[in-house]
């Protein structure tokens, strides 16, 4: 938006939009979730659950965001 808030990728899934953030860091950082949290406040009805792909080794759920390790074979199936 005009304030510089952004997510890296928005995937059009028909009725829903899937916001995706991609980070190279190996350690999860709260700043990684900033754009996705902002997205959820702006696009409530058409948003699929947000996704974060990062350089670490664990996949998990955090604060409504599905977090995937970059080498988790499950995340490519989202697209």
Q: Judge if pTM exceeds 0.75.
A: yes
What whole-number distance in Å separates Cα of residue 58 and Cα of residue 44?
Answer: 27
What whole-number distance in Å separates Cα of residue 12 and Cα of residue 25?
Answer: 26
The alpha carbon torsion through 58, 47, 41, 19 (nearest 10 deg) reads 50
pLDDT digit of tens for each residue in the chain (79 aa)? 777 789 999 999 999 999 999 999 999 999 999 999 999 988 888 999 999 999 999 999 999 999 999 999 999 998 8
């Amino acid at each position: 938006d005009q304030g510089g808030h952004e997510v890296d990728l928005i995937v059009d899934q028909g009725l829903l939009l899937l916001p995706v953030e991609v980070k190279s860091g190996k350690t999860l950082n709260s700043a990684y979730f900033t754009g996705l949290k902002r997205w959820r406040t702006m696009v409530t009805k058409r948003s699929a659950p947000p996704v974060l792909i990062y350089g670490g080794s664990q996949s998990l759920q955090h604060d409504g965001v599905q977090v995937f390790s970059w080498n988790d074979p499950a995340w490519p199936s989202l697209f």
